Amino acid sequence: MNAQNSGILKYHGISVRILRSLLVFMCLSFTSFFFLADSHAEIREVYIIKIEDETINPVTADYIIDAIDKAYQDKAECLILELDTPGGLLSSTRLIVKKIISAKVPVVVYIYPSGSRAGSAGVFITYASHIAAMAPSTNIGAAHPVKMGGGERSIWDALRDLVDSFSRKETAEEEERERRIEEKEDILGDKVLRDTVAFIRALATEKGRNVEWAEKSVTESASVTEDEALKNNIIEIIARDEKDLLSQLNGRKVRIGDETRTLNTKNVMVKRINMDFRQRFLSVLANPNIAYILLILGFYGLLYEITHPGIGFPGIAGAICIILAFFSMQVLPTNYAGLALIILAMILFIAEAMVPGFGLLTLGGLICMVLGSLLLFEAPSEIMRVSLILIVSLTLATAGITIVLVRAVVVSRRHKVVSGVEGLIEAAGHAETDIAPGGEGKVFIHGEIWNAVSKEKIEKGSEVRVVKVEGMLLEVKKT
């Protein structure tokens, strides 16, 4: 009985030890789970996008807007926009500004790296941000609006004005009319300026930044460095690099809608958002040099298809290039007068090859090509205009290719056919036999003896010329 009790107690002790081990294991498991869950919850992300030496256009606007939406959906701590731009289109700038102001996630505009600038449209985007920062050796300013594009004038208006400028004589009434038009344009420019000033003042007031300098940047194209910007309450931070920026952002308070949020950027995970393939492709098309090259290549393709019909590929490729060029012109500040001059230059080049112009048409085409290329894109910054070297190179190449190609086609059409049945017409030879009127004989043509008929009497050895070819029978007459 004592042995049995002893066994029971021993078994009971082993069970207690096993139970204790299970309890300890469960406690450790729960502790590890909560620790890992808490660690995972502490992982925060900061999204970074980059506009590097690019203009503000519909493509960059789409890129920035999509990034803001993604940062909000993924509950990022904030979105940092690394900005380096000479400016861009006011319409695209307004889209970006409206999205930043209504964003549910803090947007930090960081003019970076050193040597970058936020010009023109970049000023508005910086002022709209929740926090503005600059790297050393950067600048911001020069936001004066510049009239771009052809306005409401069509390409036909530009062509008509171009023709009229060579033919009409100025009268007092016409001079007065032009003066009134110029006054109206000045009034329109003044309206655009006033609207832009009101736009930047509203942004400055909303974000608590320097209103006076904001107005000067628009009216007087004022520009300042990072130290002056910080001193004049244009920006809040000067940061050496991204790490320094994140350090200075930590603990700052930003207002999102009706709530105030404190940024926690300590030990955050940085995630970069790049343009997708569609945006990268459209961004390439938004380059004025690319648009200009596409336009000229499209002309080459169509010209080759016209002069060499039946191939197909050059015409299709040329049409695609021209369509892409027109898309680029929709994005860029296109001046339709410049486009009209380029089209006129193409017409003059073709005309020089078709008719004897003694070089005058070519000279006119070269002048129109250069002027049209210079006027094609109106912008205050070099990055939004066609390169002068590219203009000169393509102008000379276009003139040479057009004249040589079209002239070769014209000359080839004027040449007599020397092969095949058509080559026998008007071919000369001599009679191998006598040929009676209405009768048949032999003639020697092109090194061959042919059966021939004639409506007149032809003696053997007489010089003859082919009048008509019917199958293997030639109709000839005396030379």
Distance between CA 341 and CA 347 in Å, rounded?
Answer: 10
Q: Which two tokens stand for residue 54?
A: 């690019």
Q: Measured between alpha carbons, how far is 106 from 98 in angstroms, rounded to an integer?
A: 14
- Lowest average pLDDT, out of 13-22, 67-76, 461-470, goes to 13-22
Which residue, chain included where needed, has tokens 């020697």? Answer: 444
Radius of gyration of the chain (CA): 40
The predicted structure's pLDDT at residue 376: 85
Among 80-84, 152-156, 190-194, 237-241, the minimum mean pLDDT is found in 152-156
- The upper half-sphere exposure of residue 258, i.e. CA atoms within 13 Å in the direction of its Cβ, equals 0
As a whole number, mean pLDDT of residues 196-224 equals: 90
> How confident is the model over 51-75, as pLDDT tens digits?
988 888 888 999 999 999 999 999 9
Q: Are 85 and 119 in contact (CB under 8 A)?
A: yes
Instruction: Say yes or no: domain 422-478 is CATH 2.40.50.140.
Output: yes
User: How confident is the model over 356-376, as a mean pLDDT?
Assistant: 80
Which of 8-22, 105-119, 373-387, 406-420 is the least confident region? 8-22
- First and final C-alpha spacing in the chain: 151
Question: Which 3 state secondary structure label does DSSP give 219?
Answer: helix
What pLDDT does 329 receive? 84
Averaged over 293-316, what is the pLDDT? Answer: 80
Write out the two tokens for 315: 């015409």
So what's the pLDDT on residue 360? 78
Q: Where are the domains of the chain?
A: 1-38, 45-152+184-277, 287-414, 422-478
Token digits for 252? 């700052």
Considering the chain, what is the average pLDDT of its residues?
Answer: 78
How far is the C-alpha of 64 from the C-alpha of 68, rounded, in Å? 6
pLDDT of residue 41: 47
pLDDT given for residue 375 in this prediction: 84
Task: Give the predicted TM-score (pTM) of the model.
Answer: 0.66
**Which DSSP string corresponds to 138-198?**
-EEE-------S-TT--HHHHHHHHHHHHH----HHHHHHHHHHHHHHHHHHHHHHHHHHH
Q: Is the pLDDT of residue 5 over 70?
A: no
Identify the weakest region by mean pLDDT among 15-19, 241-245, 294-298, 372-376.
15-19
Report DSSP letters for 401-446, one per residue.
HHHHHHHHHHHHHHSPP-STTGGGTT-EEEESS-B-TT-EEEEEET
CATH of domain 45-152+184-277: 3.90.226.10
Per-residue model confidence as pLDDT tens digits over 235-271: 999 999 999 999 999 999 999 988 899 999 998 999 9
**Average pLDDT over every residue of 22-32:** 55
Q: How confident is the model at residue 416 (pLDDT cuts 50, 70, 90)?
A: low
In the prediction, which pLDDT does 138 show? 95
User: How many C-beta neighbours within 10 Å does residue 430 have?
Assistant: 15
Determine the pLDDT at residue 156.
Answer: 41
Q: How confident is the model over 450-462, as a mean pLDDT?
A: 82
176 has a pLDDT exceeding 90: no
Q: If we measure between CA atoms, which residue out of 283, 365, 345, 296 comes closest to residue 325?
A: 296
* Percentage of the residues of the chain whose pLDDT score is greater than 70: 73
Give tens-digit pLDDT for 429-442.
888 888 888 778 88
Q: What does the pLDDT read at residue 326?
A: 87
Q: Return phi, psi of residue 246, to 5°.
A: -60, -35
Most confident of 52-66, 122-136, 183-197, 279-293: 122-136
Structure confidence at residue 337 (pLDDT): 86
